Structures are given as structure tokens and as C-alpha cells.
Amino acid sequence: MLDVDTSLIDKAVNILDSGGLVAFPTETVYGLGADAANEAAVRRIFAAKERPMDHPLIVHLPSREAVSEWAAEITPEAERLMDAFWPGPLTLILPKNPNVSNLITAGQEKIGLRMPSHPVAQAILEAFGKGIAAPSANKFTHISPTTAEAVKEELGNEVDLILDGGICEVGVESTILDVSSDSYTVLRPGMITKEELEVIIGRPVSLVTQAGHSTVRAPGHHAVHYAPNTPTQVLSRDALYAYLDSLMEVELPIAVVVYEPGFDRKREGVHVVNMPPRPDGYAHELYHALRSLDHLQVKQIIIEDVPNESAWQAIRDRIAKASGRE
Ligand code: TXA
Ligand code: MG
């Protein structure tokens, strides 16, 4: 269990109270937090990230009781989902309370809410006692940070305080489920799968995977999002081997990210990253691995395609986006 430094939590709360920005760890990725009820502070988030104003922010809550301050209507099914998955990596999109600022929701009548499980996130939320608006703590279109060092690299000059909680356990952003209308839709896959959600509510949930299928601004629905700076592509193991065999000296160095054992095309100039073979372990390391590879200054990153299975859905989504493919 992580020790939470109470003097740093007090400092974070003072900064939030005075309209500042605090980056903090959650179980998914690091967030860039501001007082969700302070419009000037929320504007600072958009400026720091260089994020367009039409991308709404998730409000992080200290408790279930706080939900009704932000959401106008909470169905029994939404309650069941909160019972099952909160605190944890699930964001629910609910009809917004009329008094919630349009800045947070980008003018939509819906609000994204989540209760994180990370002890540092919980400590700040509890001490602050109010909602904290927090997108991932990276520049717009970059990979989300999963360590405090990565936050520093992204936003070191823009943020008033960075709290270090080590590497994030989940490693990819929360599952976003829109429960604001009768048909429930996953707007962003995460490590809580569509099937796990369906078990709780007892009916099918649809999945938005492509741009244009959703009427709301969902994350990553840009040609390049969650992307490393290095050109990145996704190939099956066979295609990867064929490609490596065809590469000429001048096209090296490159990096390959594989997850199945038995990779046998080791050669000079090909940097191999072996990812954990199970989805949870893979997700935990993915962004950290991509960020480290960006530092290597290779000519390209090739990621081995992962299984087309539910448990891998969030990873498939993120590696497709890393390669600019959707
Ligand atoms: O795991 C996470 O969700 C992390 C941690 C920090 O909590 N946060 C995160 O926030 O990924 P962000 O802003 O980087 O991505 C959230 C996405 C936004 O891009 C936005 O499109 C979508 O959630 N979103 C937020 N509120 C929404 C709303 N009211 N309607 C539709 N989409 C919404
Ligand atoms: Mg983000």
C-alpha cells in the first residue's frame, strides 16, 4: 500500500483552492486536475494541454453522494454500474445538472463522471471535498503519462505541482460508457470490458470504435491521437517478419514491440521490446514502453498486432491510434 504524504496533499488542496493545476496519479493514467467549479482554473487545463475547447472533461468525484451535484438523472442501471466498478476505471456519461459549467461539458447536455481508486487520487479528492476536472496530463494528441516523470516531460512548465504515485496500475485510460440515453454505448474501450458491463446491466451495450459514429466528442476520434512522435505501425507476426527481412541497413534502427514468445528475427539495429503476454500486464506497460521508445530516436516503431478478443479491445484501440489508424 502506498504511503500518502499528507503535507503534499494539503499543498495540492491549497493549489486547487486558489485556481491552480495539480497533476496526480490515478489507477489508469496521470490526470491534470483543477477545481471543476472554477471556470478560470478549468480554462487553464485547456491552455496547458493545448486542447481544443470542444473536448469535454471528466469530473473526478470524492464520493457517490457527489454524483447528484453534477448529474441530473441517475438510473438504477447506472447505480448498479457504480456499485460494481467504482471506485475504479469506469467513466459514466450522464445527463448533466443544469448548473454545471458548459466549459466542462464542451456545451453538451451530458457530463462524464468517475471515482478513481488510486490512494493518492482518493486522498486529494477527500481532502478537497469537491469535484476535480482532470484530463490525462499530456499535451493534446500525445500519449497519456503513466509516471510522474512522463507528466514532467509533457507539462512540467504548466503545472503547479506533480504528485508522484509511481507507475499507474491499469496503464490505459478508463472505459467511457454513455448511459445518458436508453441505448448504452462504450465511447472509449478500457480495461473494464463491454461484456463485464453487460453482465451488470443485463442487456447489450454497443461499442463506438470509429469516428463519426458518435454524436458526442469521444476521445481519440482524430486521425492521430495517443500517438508517439516516432512513426508507428501495427503488423501481424508474419508480416513483421517479412518486413524485417526486407529492411535495408539505411532504414535502421527501428524498434519492435512483440508480446508472443519466440520472436526470432534479432539483428543489429532492431530494438526488441517483449511485452507481457496477458492483456492486463500489457496495458500496464504499453504507454511507458512507447514513451521510452520515443527517446531512443529510432526511425520507426512496429507493434505486433494483438488478439481480436474482448480483453484486448482497449489495447487494440490504443495501438491503432498510436499508428494513426482507427
Ligand atoms: O482514465 C481516465 O479517464 C483519465 C484519468 C486522468 O481519469 N482521464 C482521461 O481524460 O482520459 P481525457 O480528458 O484525457 O479523456 C477523456 C475523454 C475526453 O477526450 C472526452 O472526449 C470524453 O472523455 N468525455 C468527457 N466528457 C464527456 C462527455 N460529457 N461526453 C462525451 N465524452 C466525454
Ligand atoms: Mg487524454
Rounded distance, CA 81 to CA 93, Å? 12
Answer yes or no: is the C-beta of 29 below 6 A from any ligand 1 atom: yes
H-helix or E-strand spanning residue 22: strand 22-25
Ligand having the closest approach to the CA of 134: 1
Residue owning the nearest CA to atom 19 of ligand 1 = 219
Task: Name the DSSP letter for residue 181.
Answer: S
Answer yes or no: is the C-beta of 172 below 6 A from any ligand 1 atom: no
Using the mean position of ligand 1's atoms as its centre, give its distance from the Cα of residue 150 in Å: 19
The pLDDT score that the predictor gives to residue 228 is: 86
Using the mean position of ligand 2's atoms as its centre, give its distance from the Cα of residue 263 in Å: 32
Closest ligand 1 atom to residue 32 Cα is 6
pLDDT, mean of residues 97-121: 97
pLDDT (tens digit, 9 = 90+) per residue, 262-306?
999 998 999 999 999 999 999 999 999 999 999 999 999 999 999
Tell me, letter by letter, the H, E, C secondary structure of 223-272.
Answer: CCCCCCCCCEEEECHHHHHHHHHHCCHHHCCEEEEECCCCCCCCCCCEEE
For residue 14, give the C-alpha cell: 491549497
Rounded distance, CA 243 to CA 82, Å? 46
Answer yes or no: is the C-beta of 58 below 6 A from any ligand 1 atom: yes
Answer yes or no: is the C-beta of 254 below 6 A from any ligand 1 atom: no
Closest ligand 1 atom to residue 173 Cα is 1
Residue pair 47/21 in contact (Cβ under 8 Å)? The answer is no
The pLDDT score that the predictor gives to residue 214 is: 40
The pLDDT score that the predictor gives to residue 215 is: 40
Closest ligand 1 atom to residue 187 Cα is 32
Amino acid code (one letter) for 196: E
Amino acid code (one letter) for 76: P
- Most informative mutation of 176, 221, 284 for ligand 1 (most atoms within 8 A of CB): 176
Using the mean position of ligand 1's atoms as its centre, give its distance from the Cα of residue 52 in Å: 13
Residue pair 20/41 in contact (Cβ under 8 Å)? The answer is yes
Mean pLDDT computed over every residue of the chain: 93
Using the mean position of ligand 2's atoms as its centre, give its distance from the Cα of residue 278 in Å: 24
**Structure-model confidence comparison of residues 140 and 217, the more confident one:** 140
- pLDDT above 90 (res 116): yes
Amino acid code (one letter) for 17: D
Q: How confident is the model at residue 4 (pLDDT cuts 50, 70, 90)?
A: confident
pLDDT (tens digit, 9 = 90+) per residue, 12-40?
999 999 999 999 999 999 999 999 999 99
Closest ligand 1 atom to residue 96 Cα is 29
Residue owning the nearest CA to atom 32 of ligand 1 = 218
Start-to-end CA span in the chain (Å): 38
Ligand having the closest approach to the CA of 226: 2
Write down the pTM of the prediction: 0.95
Closest ligand 1 atom to residue 30 Cα is 6
Q: How many CB atoms lie within 10 A of CB 264?
A: 5
